[in-house]
Amino acid sequence: MSAVILSGKDMAAELLEQQSARVDTLRLNGIHPALAVIMVGEDPASAIYVRNKERACAKAGIASQVIRLPEHTTQEELHARIEELNEDPLVHGILIQLPLPKHLNETAALTWVRASKDVDGFHVINAGHLLQGHPTVLPCTPQGILYMLKKAHVPLEGAHAVVVGRSNIVGKPLALLLLGENCTVTLCHSRTRDLASVTRQADILVAAVGRPRLITADMVKPGAAVIDVGINRVDGKLCGDVDFDAVAERAAYITPVPGGVGPMTVAMLLENTLEAACRA
Ligand code: GUN
């Protein structure tokens, strides 16, 4: 295997130590950083992600509460719950776990969160700041990916970054973030023609579609940095969107699944929560 493995698990553990120290300092100043997570319904993957977030908060000394609402919650009920958290001076960060059940309007709910308490960067105001090139709070997964690339000293300026997947959570904000780092960015999606011919041009290749082993070795330029955002379950085992073993023979850098981007997403959530607590 030739690629350097970028361990998000190790980087997140290192960040956690710094974050714990920051929490101690904030506490000495009478601020007890606190995060509230709203989860609607029973999506099993979301339940696991939320549990990981709670655990990480506990390790860092950040107070967290999870508000579990039933599947049939109405938009008005959800907004009322968000409003309570907006008004609670002891809550610094609010996260609405996505996806919401189909009958709920996600954008409306995300924008009901007070922009200063939005630790996901999904509020239209915060998303707008990112679009304008003056980011305020950055979405956690894109922020974690950029952190990993910078930590590994992967050259960004002028690099061709190809992002596969155009979600509001990862693909779109990551494309903007990489653009801000002076990458040349191509954003691919399910209707992209001849995907392999595009991905083969990538110095930095990010897969964020949720299709197991979509990215095979022949789709990767030798020496590329390959970032795998996928978390798929195949035969009871976790795997990413990248065919890890084969691609690791060709790439210069690769992130594993599990232990790659996932832990960095959580680490950046803690970072955003601490920032929100400092602002408050
Ligand atoms: N669901 C999957 N990823 C995320 C994320 O980063 N934030 C939120 N709120 N929900 C998610």
Residues with CB under 6 A from ligand 1: 95-98, 120, 140-141, 169, 265
Distance CA 67, CA 87 (A): 16
Full residue range of the structural domain in which residue 89 is found = 30-114
Residue 44 Cα to ligand 1 middle (Å): 13
- Does residue 62 contact residue 22 with C-beta atoms inside 8 Å? no
- The helix/strand/coil state of 121 is coil
Is 53 a member of any domain?
yes
* Residues 50 and 93 reside in one and the same domain: yes
Active site residue 120: yes
Active site residue 53: yes
Distance CA 156, CA 243 (A): 24
Q: What's the mean per-residue pLDDT of the chain?
A: 97
- The answer on pLDDT for 64 being more than 80 is yes
- The answer on pLDDT for 1 being more than 70 is no
How far, CA to CA in Å, does 159 sit from each of 155, 230, 277? Answer: 7, 23, 35
Residue 97 Cα to ligand 1 middle (Å): 5
Is 119 a member of any domain?
no
- pLDDT score of 25: 97
Is 121 a member of any domain?
no
* Residues 95 and 209 reside in one and the same domain: no
Distance CA 191, CA 135 (A): 29
Is 18 a member of any domain?
no
Cβ neighbours for 157, distance < 8 A, ≥ 6 positions apart? 181, 182, 183
Distance CA 266, CA 97 (A): 13
The mean per-residue pLDDT over the stretch 19-36 comes to: 98
Please return the burial class of 1, using the count of CB atoms within 10 Å of its CB with bins 0-12, 13-18 and 19+. Answer: exposed
Please return the burial class of 205, using the count of CB atoms within 10 Å of its CB with bins 0-12, 13-18 and 19+. Answer: buried
Instruction: Report residue 40 as tokens.
Output: 């609607």
| Number of domains observed in the structure of the chain | 2
- pLDDT score of 226: 99
- Which position among 19, 53, 117, 243 bears the catalytic label? 53
* Residues 204 and 159 reside in one and the same domain: yes
Model confidence pLDDT, tens digit, residues 152-205: 999 999 999 999 999 999 999 999 999 999 999 999 999 999 999 999 999 999
Distance CA 42, CA 38 (A): 12
Task: Tell me if the pTM is above 0.85.
Answer: yes
The mean per-residue pLDDT over the stretch 70-99 comes to: 98
Residue 265 Cα to ligand 1 middle (Å): 9
* Residues 182 and 241 reside in one and the same domain: yes
* Residues 53 and 159 reside in one and the same domain: no
* Residues 96 and 193 reside in one and the same domain: no
Is 203 a member of any domain?
yes
Query: Which residues in 141-266 belong to E strands, given as ranges?
Result: 160-164, 184-188, 204-207, 225-228, 232-234, 237-239, 253-254
* Residues 110 and 150 reside in one and the same domain: no
* Residues 83 and 182 reside in one and the same domain: no
Nearest to 2 by CA among 245, 273, 167, 221: 245
The mean per-residue pLDDT over the stretch 73-85 comes to: 98
* Residues 186 and 87 reside in one and the same domain: no
* Residues 110 and 146 reside in one and the same domain: no
- pLDDT score of 185: 98
pLDDT band for position 252 (cuts 50, 70, 90): very high
- The answer on pLDDT for 28 being more than 90 is yes
Pick the atom of ligand 1 nearest to 95's CA.
9
- Does residue 78 contact residue 71 with C-beta atoms inside 8 Å? no
pLDDT more than 90, % of the chain: 99
What is the CATH classification number for the domain harbouring 103?
3.40.50.10860
What is the CATH classification number for the domain harbouring 203?
3.40.50.720
Q: How big is the CA angle at 30 (ends 28 and 36), to the nearest 5 degrees?
A: 115
Residue 107 Cα to ligand 1 middle (Å): 13
Least confident of 32-36, 41-45, 145-149: 41-45
Pick the atom of ligand 1 nearest to 265's CA.
6
Is 148 a member of any domain?
yes
- The answer on pLDDT for 122 being more than 90 is yes
The mean per-residue pLDDT over the stretch 142-153 comes to: 98
The mean per-residue pLDDT over the stretch 77-95 comes to: 98
Distance CA 100, CA 106 (A): 7
Pick the atom of ligand 1 nearest to 139's CA.
6
* Residues 100 and 150 reside in one and the same domain: no
Is 62 a member of any domain?
yes
* Residues 80 and 153 reside in one and the same domain: no
Is 6 a member of any domain?
no
pLDDT more than 70, % of the chain: 100
Q: To test ligand 1's pocket by mutation, which of 43, 49, 168 has the most ligand atoms within 8 angstroms of CB? A: 49
